[in-house]
């Protein structure tokens, strides 16, 4: 069988997509399947049945990843190429996010299985637990790649609620590290995902070959001032935390726009205390993030951002403290895998391809560095 002539069954893929979209469907036409929710558990059960129907070996691990293995020679635990994505979604998410990657991989495995093609390694479609981070960002892919030793609860997270949610899904917090596989057990990783941006669509390209995935760091930054009567406090005695925070937000945006061409800064959350219109703000707590596709540039951005925050605080007679909350390092996709994607596109006559950087996080980020990993974007 000539692999270049293989064709998937588009109707079967569409039927699966329509069925999956019903699970957690919202009235607005989107979908809500938060990780470990009833809807997520229902989607997992549905997926396991589809794997079974397709004649794949169903495999679970200790962090709740579910996969279907097309066994080539020996057993389902032999070395395999992983084809992954996620069934969980953010709140009111689009229908394609994650699910299209899972279903495309499943359809590929069915097609290869039916054609009786033999390969030297197993093929495995895998659903990673909590990619979106309803509880813990990329929990499943971190578990599989042995990155759970650095597992920590996020600030303010309720560990008992997390444990209960895991328990319902048959996952035990203290056992999750057992999901780790050896790099020698994985031959490679490939993921198909919508771009979640407008660049492919605008450029008229059908396939984006992802060169790298942006690194992302989140900080909590607090400006500490002094509360006082809004009317009676003399100008030189005012230590207004919110003014320092506001100054910082404006200057950080300008600095990144003008000086860091590939960088992103976002301040999306601000809480003031005491939070009264007639009291000088004593505290302004910001949650901010910086993104950059280059890991060393990301580290420089982090440092400079904190220097800027400190200088804005000083200008208003404030004190500044900061705490790093989340750090997802930037990842490069494997060069030979990228070349293979390009060659495969050429083989089937798709010339509208382009190289692209992902400004959103994906499980491929965790798999890179562990195994040769690639990420294929289709237009949103
Ligand atoms: Zn996604």
DSSP string covering 172-211, please? -GGGGGGG---GGGEEEEEEEEE-SSSHHHHHT-SEEEEE
> What distance in Å separates the CA atoms of residue 295 and residue 301, rounded to the nearest whole number?
10
The domain ranges of the chain are 3-212+330-378, 215-328
Rounded to the nearest angstrom, the distance between the alpha carbon of 130 and the centre of ligand 1 is 10
Rounded to the nearest angstrom, the distance between the alpha carbon of 265 and the centre of ligand 1 is 21
Rounded to the nearest angstrom, the distance between the alpha carbon of 87 and the centre of ligand 1 is 9
User: What is the CATH number that goes with domain 215-328?
Assistant: 3.30.70.360
pLDDT at site 225:
97
Rounded to the nearest angstrom, the distance between the alpha carbon of 240 and the centre of ligand 1 is 40
Rounded to the nearest angstrom, the distance between the alpha carbon of 194 and the centre of ligand 1 is 8
> What distance in Å separates the CA atoms of residue 320 and residue 309, rounded to the nearest whole number?
7
CB 366 within 8 A of CB 142: yes
Rounded to the nearest angstrom, the distance between the alpha carbon of 97 and the centre of ligand 1 is 5
The pLDDT-based confidence of 150 (bands split at 50, 70, 90) is low
Q: Share the mean pLDDT of the chain.
A: 94
Percent of the chain past pLDDT 90, that is, above it, reads 88
β-pairing, 373-378 with 186-194? parallel
Rounded to the nearest angstrom, the distance between the alpha carbon of 86 and the centre of ligand 1 is 7
Q: Which residues contact residue 299 at a Cβ distance below 8 angstroms, ignoring those fewer than 6 apart?
A: none
Name the CATH architecture for the domain at 3-212+330-378.
3-Layer(aba) Sandwich (3.40)
Percent of the chain past pLDDT 70, that is, above it, reads 97
pLDDT tens-digit readout, 34-76:
999 999 999 999 999 999 999 999 999 999 999 999 999 899 9
Rounded to the nearest angstrom, the distance between the alpha carbon of 85 and the centre of ligand 1 is 7
pLDDT tens-digit readout, 239-277:
999 999 999 999 999 999 999 989 999 999 999 999 999
Q: Are 3-212+330-378 and 215-328 the same fold in CATH?
A: no
Helices (H), the chain: 10-22, 38-53, 99-114, 139-144, 159-168, 199-203, 241-259, 295-315, 335-347, 363-367
pLDDT tens-digit readout, 203-234:
999 999 999 999 999 999 999 999 999 999 99
């Amino acid at each position: 069988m000539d692999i270049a002539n293989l064709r998937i069954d588009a109707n079967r893929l569409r039927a699966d997509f329509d069925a999956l979209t019903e699970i957690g469907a919202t009235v607005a036409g989107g979908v809500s399947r938060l990780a470990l929710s009833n809807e997520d558990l229902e989607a997992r059960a549905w997926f396991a049945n589809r794997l079974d129907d397709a004649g794949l070996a169903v495999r679970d691990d200790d962090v709740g990843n579910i996969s279907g293995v097309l066994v080539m020679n020996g057993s389902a635990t032999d070395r395999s190429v992983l084809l992954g994505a996620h069934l969980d979604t953010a709140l009111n998410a689009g229908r394609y996010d994650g699910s299209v990657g899972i279903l495309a991989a499943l359809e590929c495995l069915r097609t290869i299985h039916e054609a009786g093609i033999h390969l030297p390694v197993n093929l495995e479609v895998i659903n990673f637990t909590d990619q979106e981070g309803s509880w813990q960002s990329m929990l499943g892919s971190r578990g599989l790649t042995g990155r759970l030793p650095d597992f920590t609860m996020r600030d303010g997270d309720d560990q008992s609620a997390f444990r209960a949610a895991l328990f319902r899904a048959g996952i035990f917090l203290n056992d999750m590290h057992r999901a780790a596989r050896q790099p020698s057990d994985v031959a490679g990783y490939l993921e198909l995902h919508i771009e979640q941006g407008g660049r492919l669509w605008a450029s008229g390209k059908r396939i984006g070959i992802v060169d790298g995935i942006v690194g992302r760091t989140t900080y909590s930054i607090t400006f500490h001032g002094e509360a006082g009567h809004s009317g009676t406090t003399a100008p030189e005695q005012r230590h207004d935390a919110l003014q320092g925070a506001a100054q910082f937000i404006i200057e950080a945006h300008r600095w990144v726009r003008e000086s860091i061409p590939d960088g992103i800064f976002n301040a999306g959350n601000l809480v003031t205390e005491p939070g009264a219109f007639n009291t000088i703000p004593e505290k302004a707590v910001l949650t901010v993030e910086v993104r950059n596709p280059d890991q060393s540039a990301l580290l420089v951005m982090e440092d400079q951002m904190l220097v800027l925050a400190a200088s804005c605080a000083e200008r208003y007679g404030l004190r500044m403290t900061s705490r790093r909350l989340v750090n997802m390092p930037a990842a490069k996709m494997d060069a030979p895998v990228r070349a293979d994607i390009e060659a495969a596109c050429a083989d089937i006559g798709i010339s509208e391809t382009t190289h692209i950087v992902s400004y959103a996080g994906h499980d491929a980020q965790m798999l890179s560095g562990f195994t040769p990993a690639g990420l294929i974007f289709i237009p949103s």
